[in-house]
Each structure stands twice: as C-alpha cells, then as structure tokens.
Amino acid sequence: MKVGENIYAVDGICTHEYSDLSMSFMNGGIVTCPLHLSQFDLKTGEALSLPATESLKSYSVTIQGTSVFVEMD
C-alpha cells in the first residue's frame, strides 16, 4: 500500500477474522478492516485497536527505479 511517497507491504487478511483488507479504509498510515473496524499500522503491521490483538505480518520493501520488490519469507 502506498502512503505518500512510501510503499508498505503487509498481509492482506485481517488477523481478527478472515476479512480481505483490499476493501479496507485507509487514513494516512493506518488501515481499518471493513468487517469489525480493527486498525493496523501499515509501517509495522501492529494491531492498534480491538477486536484485533495480533499484528499483521509486514514485509521489507525495496524500490529500484520503477520496480517495487517485496521480500517474502
């Protein structure tokens, strides 16, 4: 997800209950799950509000020219 000039990569499924975060709401660096409104920090994946208590997995992003590389484990 792009926030300003920065690109972040996190899991696309809410950790609280299976919900696709591609349909989420974004406000700055915070993504809000559309199902139960849990919020996550896009930079770290940290769960910021209930009902989610488990963070999203975040991935390292490298930008080289016009290419974006995401390091997957």
Cα dihedral across residues 60, 42, 48, 20: positive or negative: negative
How high is the pLDDT of residue 19? 94
At 42-73, the pLDDT tens digits run 999 999 999 999 999 999 999 999 999 999 87
Close Cβ partners of 70 (under 8 Å, ≥ 6 residues apart) = 9, 59, 60, 61
The pLDDT > 90 percentage for the chain reads: 88
3-class SS of residue 56: coil
Per-chain mean pLDDT for the chain: 94
Q: Domain 2-71 sits in which CATH superfamily?
A: Rieske [2Fe-2S] iron-sulphur domain (2.102.10.10)
The angle subtended at Cα 63 by Cα 61 and Cα 68, nearest 5°, is 75
